[in-house]
């Protein structure tokens, strides 16, 4: 039998017509007890996990909800592994089987050459041809060859970032994710029209259809990636002078906005916050950054190199602007692309440029 406390009867005698007060109180207490019981029994649904990024005691850690499972990547789960096949004795090389028109891997045996062709087709979401069978599009062959060389270049010349030497690296899927055009790539924005140039031409723009646009649907400049990761302009603005007397068109303002836009884009690419690289009490002080800052700086230089050396010149072959890379192209929302999966284990040829 449920027994009410003495205060309940006393309060009821003094307030015979007011039943809502104690009912609300009892309901609130009961509800709180029920919620607490659920949390104790099933665990906190909003539990977080912290990753330390800087010195202890000053709040420099990245927090993520456990329910979001920061160690799960849907793209990694969808990745198709194509193992090497056992080539029968006497199997000819790709060059011997398909002739001099083979654009890459000519020394590989035909069986594994065909297997790698299947793998690349799955990774990029369309049929890949590695030799001219009489019907191949020369421009497409040239782009495929260029992409293979870009993959090898990344794994060889930038292995200190891609960690190809440490069992990670990149292959076609790292960027393409099963789609002909990498979903995390970008193209130059340009001006709205010929009458809108300079400041007004790259501000207040909504980039429809660009999921990972650098402006992130804000009023920030939409050419941040072009200026900073293609043209190679300085990725920081340190100015201790007041900008009160300056006009909105002052380039320091816009350069600061471009840097801020790039920082937002990089944070979204890795799903981290400012403290992943910076001590937020002193953004201007390079002596107070975290170790991740140097890794990110290297990634920026890698993007500039790849965009200038490979992807911008590719536009001439395509006949239209070629997509460029940035942090989002490989990371796609996780700190280590594809949760650190070894992307060159089965096919080391993708990590070593041909002689």
Cα 20 from chain centroid (whole Å): 54
Q: What is the CATH classification number for the domain harbouring 165?
A: 1.10.468.10
Angstrom distance (rounded) from CA 80 to CA 125: 12
* 190 & 297 share domain: yes
Which band of pLDDT confidence, cut at 50, 70 and 90, is reported for residue 191? low
- Ranked by mean pLDDT, the top range of 139-143, 147-151, 185-189, 349-353 is 147-151
How many domains are there within the chain?
2
DSSP string, 73-142: -HHHHHPPP-----PPTTPPBHHHHH-TT--S-TTSBHHHHHHHHHHHHHHHTS---SS--SS--HHHHH
In a domain, 294, yes or no: yes
pLDDT of residue 248: 58
Give helix 291-306 / helix 138-157 axis angle, nearest 10°: 150
pLDDT (average), residues 32-41: 73
CA 98/CA 135 separation, integer angstroms: 13
Domain encompassing residue 290: 185-239+248-310
- pLDDT category of residue 61 using cuts at 50, 70 and 90: confident
- Report pLDDT digits (tens) over 276-330: 888 888 887 888 888 889 899 999 999 999 999 999 998 887 778 888 999 999 9
| Binding-site residue ranges | 161, 172, 175-176, 263, 274, 277-278, 327, 330-331
How many residues are recorded in the chain? Answer: 355
- Asked if residue 110 and residue 214 are part of one domain, the reply reads no
Residue 117 pLDDT greater than 90, yes or no = yes
Average pLDDT over residues 199-214: 60
Residues 324, 343 contacting (CB under 8 angstroms): no
Q: Given pLDDT bands bounded at 50, 70 and 90, which one contains residue 219?
A: confident
Indicate the annotated binding residues for heme: 161, 172, 175-176, 263, 274, 277-278, 327, 330-331
């Amino acid at each position: 039998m449920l027994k009410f406390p003495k205060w309940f009867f006393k309060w009821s005698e003094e307030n015979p017509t007011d039943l809502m007060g104690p009912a609300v109180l009892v309901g609130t207490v009961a509800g709180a007890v029920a919620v607490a019981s659920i949390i104790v029994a099933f665990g906190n649904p909003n539990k977080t996990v912290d990753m330390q990024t800087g010195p202890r005691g000053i709040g420099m850690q990245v927090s993520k909800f456990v329910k979001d499972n920061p160690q799960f990547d849907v793209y990694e789960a969808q990745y198709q592994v194509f193992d090497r096949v056992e080539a029968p004795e006497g199997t000819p090389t790709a060059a011997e089987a398909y002739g001099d028109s083979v654009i890459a891997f000519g020394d590989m045996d035909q069986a594994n050459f065909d297997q790698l062709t299947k793998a690349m087709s799955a990774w990029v979401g369309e049929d890949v041809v590695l030799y001219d069978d009489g019907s191949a599009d020369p421009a497409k062959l040239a782009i495929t060859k260029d992409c293979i060389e870009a993959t090898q270049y990344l794994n060889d010349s930038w292995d200190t970032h891609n960690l190809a030497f440490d069992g990670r690296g990149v292959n076609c899927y790292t960027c393409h994710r099963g789609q002909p055009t990498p979903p995390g790539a970008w193209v130059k924005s340009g001006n709205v029209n010929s009458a809108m140039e300079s400041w007004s031409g790259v501000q207040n723009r909504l980039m429809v259809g660009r999921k990972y646009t650098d402006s992130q649907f804000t009023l920030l400049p939409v050419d941040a990636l072009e200026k900073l990761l293609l043209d190679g302009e300085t990725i920081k603005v340190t100015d201790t002078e007041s900008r009160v007397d300056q006009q909105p068109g002052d380039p320091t303002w816009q350069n600061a906005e471009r840097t801020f836009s790039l920082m937002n884009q990089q944070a979204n690419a890795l799903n981290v916050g400012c403290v992943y690289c910076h001590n937020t009490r002193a953004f201007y002080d390079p002596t107070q950054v975290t170790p991740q800052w140097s890794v990110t700086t290297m990634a920026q230089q890698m993007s500039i190199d790849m965009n200038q050396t490979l992807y911008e010149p590719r536009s001439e072959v395509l006949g239209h602007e070629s997509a460029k890379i940035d942090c989002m192209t490989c990371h796609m929302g996780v700190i280590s692309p594809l949760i650190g999966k070894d992307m060159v284990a089965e096919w080391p040829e993708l990590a070593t440029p041909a002689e």
